Structures are given as C-alpha cells and as structure tokens.
C-alpha cells in the first residue's frame, strides 16, 4: 500500500508515518510545516512541502508519486487545527483550514481517482454526551467550533465518498498523548492546552505551576474524567483502518480510545510517581464536559485493534521525549 499522509510532520501524523513504515508500507508526506517539523518526518518517507488549501500542492504530491511508478492508494488526513480554546477565538480560521482544507483535498482526490481516505475526527463531535461511554451512533452536538469543523468534515466526506464510489475510514480520537518508543518523535508543539503535556512541561521546569481545572464536577473525586490513548496505539489503528478499507472496498467509522477513564487527579497522582511537580487547584475551564470515555468495541471488532500501552506508558514516554528534547537544545 502507498499512503499520502497530509500533515505527516505533525504530532499524530508523524506517528502514523512511523507505524505505516514499520508495517512495510510506502509513504509520502505533504505538510506546510506551519506547526509540523521537517525532522519529524521519517527518513524513509518522501517529503513534499505544501498546503492542504492549495490544490496544486496536493496534486504535485499525488502526481509526483504516480511518476515514481506506483500511484497513491490512500490519503490520510492530519492537517487540522485542533486547539479548542483557539477555535472559540478564531472560528473563521478553523472553518477555513479544517473544512475548506478537506473540501480541497477531496476535490483533488476525485480528480486523480484516489478512492480511499483515512480521516482524523474527534470525540469533540459528541459535545456533552448523554451516557458515560460514547458510542459511534450517539447524537452529535459539538459545543465548540473545533468539534463542529470535524463534524462538518465527516458529513462532507460521507457525501463525497457516496457520490464518487470512494471509501473512508473515519476515526474519532479521545485524549491522545505520549511519544514513539524511539523517542525520535513526540509532541513538539509547546502552545498546547492538553493535560499530559502541561503536567510534563511543569515537571521539566518549562512551567512554574500545574493547575487542576475544577474539583466540583459530578465525578468520584470531583475532577474531570477522560480516556487517554497512547499516540502509537492510535497511529497503529490508522494502518489497520487503511488496510481494511482497501481490502474490503468499504467504509468504516470508529471511536479510538482505551475504554478506561482516569480523572485529572488520578493522572496527577500517576505522574507524581515519576517525578514531583507543583500543583494548584483552579476554577473550572469553560466548556469541559465532566466525563468523556470511548466505547471502542467497534474498532476492536472490525479491525482487531487493542491499545497496548497504559497510562503509565503514556506519561513516561512524554516525559522521556521532553527530557531528551531539552538535552538536545542545551
């Protein structure tokens, strides 16, 4: 299989590239390097610098690959903006990049006869879920622009794939964290709002204090509960998903999470076993649902996917990657 990974120099995209190459697949990467880094691209992947919003850039990568003798079988999409508070402040920017980007990508795929797409969606499409575990067929009511851009993209993908006889594999991610075992790649971006990187930035001294946002939620210890999945487990699901839609000429949509929930306080306790850091209780952050846990049975049944890594693996790998990066910079 040959994959064109759009956004393959970013955090999740670069891990997908590593897993594709480990599985013996051929990979080309298209990335505009706005947040991704050239050195995150695996040495065995061909790199095209370009933007998902620019049809000529996408076409150049697709045609460049075809000219090498084997056309692209599947496109994987990771080129989205994904910071929830930023999406609330800059909705137009998010709709432009995330929704128009998908439209341009689909149009270019149709014109070049590429019939398979793996797409990164998010648990944010569920909004405030009705039950403890999110199922793929639950109501979809995003509560922020980021989630809404992903829902709009999911819908567009379904319509376009139906009209043009294409297959899609849509994954709804829960809380992704951690770094590749090689420690060559990990989360490079510093301006994030996510729990695990913020804890570890505090551990390595890049932040003075870690804040727990709210202890009065309706959860056993009052802090929010989330479903954490290791980025390499998540990346591996993309390999299985792409192989599945190609072999079976069909489309699928699955949640990707571990199925276990950990509260913010539990994550803090687990992290403190690795290294101490200062913690303060703060007010609730706007827009945080109390509990978000994936039911990932569908991914298990259809793809045989099982996350192998634990919360401890997630925390440890993020910390090791961060320490290694600090040592490199020093």
Task: List the catalytic residues.
Answer: 146
C-alpha span between 33 and 48 (Å, rounded): 10
Q: What is the DSSP string of 96-131?
A: IIIIIHHHHHHHHHHHTT--EEEEEEEGGGG-S-SS
311 binds ligand UDP, rule: CB under 6 A? no
Q: What residues numbered 207-246 form the site for ligand UDP, per CB under 6 A?
A: 211-213, 224, 226
Q: Of 143-151, 162-170, 190-198, 301-309, which part binds ligand UDP (CB under 6 A)?
A: 190-198
Residue 9 Cβ vs ligand UDP, minimum distance, rounded to whole Å: 22
Smallest gap from Cβ 144 to ligand UDP, in A, equals: 10
* Binding piece for ligand UDP, criterion CB under 6 A, among 30-38, 92-100, 164-172, 189-197: 189-197
Q: Tell me if 193 contacts ligand UDP by CB under 6 A.
A: yes
Number of other residues whose CB lies within 10 A of the CB of residue 12: 21
Q: Quickly count: other Cβ atoms within 10 Å of residue 205's Cβ.
A: 9
Q: Please tell me whether residue 6 binds ligand UDP under the rule CB under 6 A.
A: no
Interacting residue with ligand UDP among 138, 243, 266, 288 (CB under 6 A): 288
Q: Which value, to the nearest 10 degrees, does the dihedral of the CA atoms of residues 42, 45, 48, 49 take?
A: 0
Nearer to ligand UDP, 95 or 194 (CB): 194
Q: Are 25 and 1 in contact (CB under 8 A)?
A: yes
Token reading at 68 = 């090498």
Q: Does 264 bind ligand UDP (CB under 6 A)?
A: yes
95 touches ligand UDP (CB under 6 A) = no
Is residue 23 at the binding interface for ligand UDP, with CB under 6 A as the rule?
A: no
Residue with nearest beta carbon to ligand UDP: 224
Candidates 17-25, 107-115, 285-293, 305-313: pick the segment binding ligand UDP (CB under 6 A).
285-293
**Count of chain residues binding ligand UDP (CB under 6 A):** 14
CB of 284 to ligand UDP, least distance (A): 7
Q: Which residues contact 80 (CB under 8 A, 6 or more apart)?
A: 7, 97, 98, 101, 120, 149, 150
Site for ligand UDP in 163-182 (CB under 6 A): 175
Distance CA 14, CA 5 (A): 9
183 vs 192, which CB is nearer to ligand UDP?
192
The contacts of residue 118 (CB under 8 Å, 6+ apart) are: 74, 75, 76, 77, 168, 169, 171, 238, 241, 242, 245
| Of 71, 25, 75, 68, nearest in space to 45 by CA | 25
Q: Taking the complex as a whole, how short is the minimal distance between the CB of residue 95 and ligand UDP, in angstroms?
A: 19
- CA angle 176/179/183 to nearest 5° reads 170
Could you list the residues that contact ligand UDP (CB under 6 A)? 175, 193-195, 198, 211-213, 224, 226, 264, 285, 288, 292
């Amino acid at each position: 299989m040959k994959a064109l990974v759009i956004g393959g120099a970013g955090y999740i995209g670069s891990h997908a590239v590593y897993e594709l190459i480990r599985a013996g697949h051929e990979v080309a990467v298209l990335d505009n390097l706005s947040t991704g880094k050239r050195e995150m691209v695996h040495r065995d992947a061909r790199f095209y610098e370009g933007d998902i919003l620019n049809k000529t850039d996408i076409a150049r990568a697709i045609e460049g690959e075809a000219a090498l003798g084997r056309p692209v079988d599947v496109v994987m999409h990771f080129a989205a903006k994904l910071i929830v508070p930023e999406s609330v402040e800059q909705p137009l920017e998010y709709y432009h990049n995330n929704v128009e980007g998908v439209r341009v990508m689909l149009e270019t795929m149709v014109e070049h006869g590429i019939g398979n797409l793996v797409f990164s969606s998010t648990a944010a499409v569920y909004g405030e879920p009705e039950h403890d575990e999110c199922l793929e067929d639950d109501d979809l009511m995003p509560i922020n622009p980021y989630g809404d851009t992903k829902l709009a993209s999911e819908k567009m993908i379904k319509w376009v794939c139906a009209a043009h006889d294409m297959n899609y594999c849509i994954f709804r991610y829960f809380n992704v964290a951690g770094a590749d075992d090689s420690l060559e790649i990990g989360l490079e971006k510093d301006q994030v709002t996510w729990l695990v990187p913020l804890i570890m930035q505090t551990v390595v001294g890049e932040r003075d204090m870690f804040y727990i946002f709210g202890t009065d939620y309706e959860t056993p210890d009052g802090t929010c509960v989330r479903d954490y999945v290791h980025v390499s487990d998540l990346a591996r699901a993309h390999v299985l998903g792409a192989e599945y839609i190609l072999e079976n000429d069909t489309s699928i949509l699955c949640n990707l999470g571990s199925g276990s929930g950990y509260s913010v306080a539990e994550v803090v306790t687990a992290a403190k076993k690795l290294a101490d850091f200062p913690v303060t209780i703060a007010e609730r952050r706007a827009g945080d649902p109390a509990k978000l846990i994936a039911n990932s049975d569908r991914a298990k049944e259809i793809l045989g996917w099982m996350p192998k890594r634990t919360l401890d693996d997630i925390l440890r790998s993020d910390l090791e990657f961060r320490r290694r990066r600090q040592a490199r910079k020093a």
